Structures are given as C-alpha cells and as structure tokens.
C-alpha cells in the first residue's frame, strides 16, 4: 500500500465535494415523489435485493440499501440465499421478482459466489427492472449515440450527478477514468463522453498512468487500491472523484479497519480544486441513485409523470 505523506502541513485548498449531503437532498426529493405517487395512484415503488452468500461487506451494503429504502418510503424485499445455493435457485428468485407487479427494481448484489455465472444471472433480470443498469443491452444503449439506456448504472450516475450539483463543467474538459470494470469504469467513461468530455481510460496495463492522469481536468478513480493516486498524478486545480472504497488496518478504529479511497486524500486536497472524501463521497450517492432508479422504474411501469 502506498504511504500517504502525513507530514504535509500546507493548508488544504480543495473544496470538499460532500456526497453525503447531496445524497440526503436527493433522498428528500425522492421521498416527496414517492408520496406524491402513492397519493395519486396508490402505487408504492418496490425494490428487490438478492444477496447470495455471507460476505460481511455485501451484507452491510444490502442492509444499508434496505434502510435507505425505508427512509424514503420505497418497499424493499430481500432474498437471502446461502453460499452453496445453485445458480438455478438464484434464477428462480429473479424470475419471481420479474413477474411480481409490486417489484419495480431488482438488484443482485455482487460479487456472486465463484461457482455461479455472473453473466447468466445478470442477463436474467428483466431489463425494465434492471435498476443497477448492468444488463448488456443497457450498457450497449449507453455506448450508442442517439440511444438512451433504460437505467444509468448507479455509481457512475452518482459521480456525474455530483459534478452537476457542484456546478463543475464537463463539456470540453479532459477527463481520465482509472479502471475499466463493467460496473464503474466503463459506464462512467461512457457517461463522461455523453457529457462531451474528452475521455481517456487507464488500467492495470497502462504504462506511466500518472503521465495521463496529470493532463486531466477531471479524474474519476475506480480501482480498489488504497492511496494509489498521489500528488504527482494530479494537475493543479483538477477535480477528483474517488470511487474506491478500500479497507485498511486501523487499530484506532473499533472495527480494526477503516475505509480509504484510491486517492491519497491529504495530497489531493492540496493540489486539486475539489475532491470527494471516502467515506462520505460517492458511496452515499450510489445508494441515492439506486433509490432514484427504482422511482423512475415505478413511474415508467405505471405511466405516472
Ligand atoms: N462508492 C461506490 O459506490 C462503489 C465503490 N466501489 C469501489 O471502487 C473500486 C473499484 O471497483 P470495481 O470497478 O468493481 O473494481 P474491479 O476490480 O472490477 O476493477 C478494477 C479496475 O482497476 C484497474 N486497476 C487495478 N489495479 C490498477 C493499477 N495499479 N493501476 C491502474 N488500474 C488498475 C483494473 O484494471 P484491469 O482491467 O487491467 O484489471 C480494473 O479495470 C473498489 O475499491 C470498490 O470497492 C465499487 C462500486 C461502487
Ligand atoms: N449489484 C451491486 N450493485 C452495487 O451498487 C454494488 C454491488 N453490487 N457490490 C458492491 C458495490 C459497492 N457499493 C457501495 C455502495 C454504497 C457504499 C456506501 O454507502 N459507502 C459509505 C459508507 C462506507 C463505509 O464506511 O463502510 C460511504 O462511502 O460513505 C459503498 C459501496 C455498491 N456496490
Ligand atoms: Mg468488481
């Protein structure tokens, strides 16, 4: 793990992009819309979450999503399957939720156990209920000009929403995305391109990635390496969105660990003009966008504007 210069004492100048505060405002907006819909047509949006296995982090995320649903009046259903359940059992749940009119969104928590084929399972979610936006048809539409995806994937949508709500211009800017996963790197790069940024993607095979990131007006990092992005990766005044959520040992924390991003926050907050913290940055936005997509789905299915 890269060591983050703790001795830096210069005054931080970057603006903190407060994802938690923005997410709370978005949740207020959603809560109001959910109740307006309930009163007007008697329909409550519903989200089904499928959790397979007993990974602690996944269980925590699912629990947070459930609480978030409660907080805005969205009904949440949960299917908990054991680690050794079969792919067919997961597919059966998906099929039930696909056909359940009270369910407007279906989310399969990733990662799935190794013996399951992730593609088969994600393909089985009805595209009209794919609030995560992981269906290949959906990513295909996102990549095509003149097409609109059914749902924009939550984390990428949260990143762009943060830039919008902070009035950070994207059009004509040079954006560099670090990471090329199906769930974050690729879709966020596609979204930036749709916003008329000039986009580069760097990944584990990129030679001298810091030379490329140093040209960026906007960096979005989704790698999974604590403190990888250092001061010399960042152009002075750049805007940094740190998607990474990485546990690092911390004997001072009651859990024995704490979460840090991909970006060395102390260094970024000196060089950059704005930066998202971890926690409190993109994470809460991901959940807010999941609620938003569930609301959008319910409105679309019931033809409610
Ligand atoms: N805040 C939120 O809501 C969310 C946070 N996350 C977090 O974001 C991070 C990324 O998640 P995810 O996209 O699923 O991760 P993946 O592991 O699926 O993808 C990681 C990407 O980073 C690239 N990469 C790995 N090491 C390096 C390196 N040293 N230099 C440059 N690129 C590198 C990989 O390259 P290659 O393709 O060559 O292997 C890959 O494209 C994780 O920390 C995860 O916990 C994820 C989802 C939501
Ligand atoms: N099908 C699927 N959809 C996902 O959206 C999905 C997934 N699988 N698998 C795992 C990743 C990870 N992810 C996060 C969501 C919220 C926070 C979050 O709320 N974080 C808080 C708290 C962090 C903490 O302290 O633990 C924060 O950053 O402030 C983090 C991570 C969604 N993912
Ligand atoms: Mg992954």
Residue 282: which of 252, 261, 258, 257 has the closest Cα?
Answer: 261
Ligand that lies nearest to the alpha carbon of residue 20, given by its number in the listed order: 2
Tell me what the mean pLDDT of segment 19-37 comes to.
98
pLDDT class for 12, splitting at 50, 70, 90?
A: low
pLDDT tens digits for 176-195? 999 999 999 999 999 999 99
158 lines ligand 2 (CB under 6 A): no
Long-range CB contacts (< 8 A, 24+ apart) of 58-65?
58/109, 58/110, 58/111, 61/109, 62/109, 64/287, 65/107, 65/287, 65/290
CATH for 42-129 (3.40.50.10860, 3.40.1280.10, 3.10.180.10, 3.10.129.10): 3.40.50.10860
* Tokens matching residue 86: 């079969």
pLDDT at 268 over 90: yes
Tell me what the mean pLDDT of segment 70-95 comes to.
98
| Ligand 2 centroid to residue 172 C-alpha, Å | 30
The kind and range of the H/E element at 175 are: strand 174-178
* Protein residue with least CA distance to atom 8, ligand 1: 244
pLDDT class for 6, splitting at 50, 70, 90?
A: very low
- Which of 34-38, 54-58, 227-231 is least confident? 54-58
Tell me what the mean pLDDT of segment 266-276 comes to.
97
| Ligand 2 centroid to residue 35 C-alpha, Å | 26
Whole-structure pTM value: 0.95
Long-range CB contacts (< 8 A, 24+ apart) of 116-123?
116/52, 116/87, 116/90, 117/87, 120/87, 120/91, 121/87, 121/90, 121/91, 121/94
What distance in Å separates the CA atoms of residue 11 and residue 201, rounded to the nearest whole number? 31
pLDDT at 169 over 80: yes
Catalytic residue positions, numbered? 58, 65, 109
- What pLDDT was estimated at residue 253? 93
pLDDT class for 150, splitting at 50, 70, 90?
A: very high
- What pLDDT was estimated at residue 13? 79
What number does the ligand 2 atom closest to the CA of 284 have?
Answer: 19
- What pLDDT was estimated at residue 9? 45
- What pLDDT was estimated at residue 63? 96
pLDDT tens digits for 89-135? 999 999 999 999 999 999 999 999 999 999 999 999 999 999 999 99
pLDDT at 3 over 80: no
287 lines ligand 2 (CB under 6 A): yes
154 lines ligand 2 (CB under 6 A): yes
CATH for 166-283 (3.40.50.10860, 3.40.50.720, 3.40.1360.10, 3.10.20.600): 3.40.50.720
pLDDT at 30 over 60: yes
| Ligand 2 centroid to residue 290 C-alpha, Å | 11
pLDDT at 5 over 80: no
pLDDT at 303 over 50: yes
Domain positions in the chain: 42-129, 166-283
């Amino acid at each position: 793990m890269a060591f983050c210069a703790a001795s830096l004492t210069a005054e931080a100048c970057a603006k903190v992009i407060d994802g938690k505060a923005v997410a709370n405002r978005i949740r207020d907006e959603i809560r109001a819309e959910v109740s307006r819909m309930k009163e007007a047509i008697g329909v409550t949006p519903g989200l089904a979450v499928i959790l397979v296995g007993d990974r602690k982090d996944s269980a925590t995320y699912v629990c947070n999503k459930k609480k978030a649903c409660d907080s805005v009046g969205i009904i949440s259903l949960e299917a908990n399957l054991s680690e050794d359940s079969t792919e067919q059992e997961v597919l059966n749940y998906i099929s039930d939720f696909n056909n359940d009119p009270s369910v407007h969104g279906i989310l399969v928590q990733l990662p799935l156990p190794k013996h399951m084929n992730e593609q088969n399972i994600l393909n089985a979610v009805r595209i009209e209920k794919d609030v995560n936006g992981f269906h290949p048809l959906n990513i295909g539409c996102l990549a095509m000009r003149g097409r609109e995806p059914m749902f924009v994937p939550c984390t990428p949508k949260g990143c762009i929403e943060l830039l919008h709500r902070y009035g950070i211009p994207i059009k004509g800017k040079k954006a560099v995305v670090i990471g090329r996963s199906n769930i974050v790197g690729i879709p966020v790069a596609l979204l930036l391109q749709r916003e008329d940024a000039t986009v580069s993607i760097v990944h584990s095979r990129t030679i001298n990635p810091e030379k490329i990131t140093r040209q960026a007006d906007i960096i979005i990092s989704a790698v999974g390496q604590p403190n990888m992005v250092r001061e010399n990766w960042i152009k002075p005044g750049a805007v940094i969105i740190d998607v990474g959520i990485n546990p690092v040992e911390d004997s001072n924390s009651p859990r024995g660990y704490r979460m840090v991003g991909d970006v060395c926050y102390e260094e970024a907050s000196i060089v950059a003009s704005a930066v998202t913290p971890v926690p409190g940055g993109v994470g809460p936005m991901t959940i807010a966008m999941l609620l938003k997509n569930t609301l959008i789905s319910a409105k679309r299915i019931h033809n409610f504007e």
